[in-house]
């Protein structure tokens, strides 16, 4: 039996209108449905599966109804099981959730027929290491960010790549971004835009004390390590802006490319089509 996981953005009232017709569409085509809690509140009688358990159900694909944040959460839940993701934009910016609601059913028809293209996106494998022990481990589709607390002094960190010291920097924070995440926080902090197919990561200091510290593009075969000194104050490690944990003085944050990728079911729009639309670049 074909199956689909449906993952929705919380508190989107339009879901009450969208979901009945959508579920009927899937039932008519013989799909087993797995709904997260946000989706299930608008339906009756469907199987509810915690988001973090959806990957092990091995659905044929996951349908995300929401914005980029919902997609980032879904990617951490299902990507490690190789589940492709189709994202329909109910948010605002939508760099990743490029399918508009008006094109959802046409795109679903292509997915059901096996004719929808798939794009692979790299993930960061990030570990927080304290006193030689791994105290946290997460995957990031966009970025890993180490930042100071609201009223703290500048963050002091060493950047080390493949065991080689690169520089010491004092800044409000530092971003390690994937090509996918290059259009997110890193871009706002002055980092470059990378095509999703580029095999690199970007290290972007946030408001560095010295203007000579610039964003650095690093091969994705490297291990990127931040050795953090915060004095008497904690810093914070944030994964995709959704998962956070304190960073103590002397902690290390180590990131490298994950062994698995995120599989995105895409429309035929190119990356540059999306950039022109979202960044309001000039049209010919």
Contact between residue 55 and residue 78 where contact means Cβ atoms under 8 Å apart: yes
Of the candidates 262, 270, 124, 100, the one whose C-alpha atom is nearest the C-alpha of residue 186 is: 124
* 181 closest CA partner among 266, 238, 252, 246: 238
**Exactly one of 36, 68, 143, 240 is catalytic; which is it?**
68
Q: Are 264 and 84 in contact (CB under 8 A)?
A: yes
The question of whether 68 is a catalytic residue gets the answer: yes
The answer to whether 119 and 270 are in contact (CB under 8 A) is: no
Beta bridge partners of 243: 239
Tell me if 96 sits within 8 A of 180, measured CB to CB: yes
With beta carbons less than 8 A apart as the criterion, state whether 75 and 44 touch.
no
CB 88 within 8 A of CB 265: no
CA–CA separation, 120 vs 143, rounded Å?
16
Show which residues are catalytic.
Answer: 68
């Amino acid at each position: 039996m074909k199956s689909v996981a449906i993952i929705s953005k919380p508190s989107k009232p339009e879901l009450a209108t969208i979901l009945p017709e959508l579920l009927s569409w899937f039932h008519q085509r013989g799909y087993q449905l797995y709904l997260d809690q946000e989706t299930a509140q608008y339906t009756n009688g469907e199987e509810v599966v915690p988001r973090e358990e959806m990957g092990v159900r091995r659905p044929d694909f996951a349908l995300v109804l929401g914005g980029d944040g919902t997609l980032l959460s879904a990617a951490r839940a299902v990507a490690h099981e190789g589940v492709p993701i189709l994202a329909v934009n109910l948010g605002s910016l939508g760099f990743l959730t490029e399918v508009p609601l008006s094109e959802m059913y046409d795109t679903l028809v292509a997915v059901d027929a096996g004719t929808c293209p798939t794009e692979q996106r790299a993930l960061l494998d990030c570990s927080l290491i304290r006193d030689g022990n791994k105290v946290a481990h997460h995957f990031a589709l966009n970025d890993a960010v180490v930042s100071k607390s609201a009223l703290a002094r500048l963050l002091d960190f060493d950047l080390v790549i493949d065991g080689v010291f690169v520089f010491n920097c004092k800044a409000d924070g530092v971003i390690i971004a994937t090509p996918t995440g290059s259009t997110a926080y890193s871009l706002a902090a002055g980092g470059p835009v990378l095509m999703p197919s580029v095999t690199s990561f970007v290290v972007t200091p946030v408001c560095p004390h010295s203007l000579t510290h610039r964003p650095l593009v690093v091969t994705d075969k490297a291990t990127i390590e931040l050795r953090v000194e915060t004095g008497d104050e904690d810093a914070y490690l944030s994964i995709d802006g959704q998962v956070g944990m304190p960073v103590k003085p002397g902690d290390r944050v180590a990131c490298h490319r994950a062994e698995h990728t995120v599989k995105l079911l895409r429309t035929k729009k190119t990356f540059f089509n999306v950039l022109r639309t979202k960044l309001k670049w000039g049209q010919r």
